[in-house]
Amino acid sequence: MHTAHCQHDDHEHPGLTGPALRRALGVAERRCAEDQERLTPPRRRVLELLLEADAPLKAYDLIAAFGQAGEAAKPPTVYRALEFLERMGFAHRIESLNAYVPCRLDGEEHQAAFLICDCCGAAQEFEPDFTAQLAAASAVGYEVQTVTLEARGLCPACRA
């Protein structure tokens, strides 16, 4: 799902398909079971759409693509599923794009930071190190709840 103006076609598509997609959904299902949660069909479907995509998806993309036979979802169904996926750490919201990506890092709670390509729209997650910033905040008496780091630029394929 590249933006129309991107002329670069040698991207590695990080979207999952086939066995890799089924494996990722299986991992999510097991983590839900461990936490006494359920990956209900709508939650599973939204996660599947995020995993298949090669760029961040907006809520209305998810609503439009929700039905297997092309029918749209009721918006609250998708918003509730996104809320769940974010809470479980299966998906992140990229604030500057108002769009969602599946979590690409394993593990429990983590801060997510993103490298966003302004040409093709791809977003790559990396684990930021906010140690210095958090220490500076605490030195002036702040208790930080979240930090957002979204770096904009060109991905390797679009730079080439």
Residue ranges in contact with Zn ion by CB under 5 A = 103, 105, 112, 117, 119-120, 155, 158
Smallest distance from Zn ion to CB 155, Å: 4
Nearer to Zn ion, 73 or 117 (CB): 117
Smallest distance from Zn ion to CB 61, Å: 18
Nearer to Zn ion, 71 or 109 (CB): 109
Smallest distance from Zn ion to CB 98, Å: 18
Nearer to Zn ion, 63 or 103 (CB): 103
Smallest distance from Zn ion to CB 157, Å: 5
Give the residues across from 106 on adjacent strands: none
**Among residues 50, 49, 48, 28, which one has the least CA distance to residue 39?**
28
Helix H, strand E, coil C: the string for 30-81 is: HHHHHCCCCCCHHHHHHHHHHHHCCCCECHHHHHHHCCCCCCCCCHHHHHHH
Phi, psi for residue 93 in degrees, rounded to 5: -95, 130
Q: How far apart are CA 47 and CA 78, in angstroms?
A: 10
Nearer to Zn ion, 67 or 95 (CB): 95
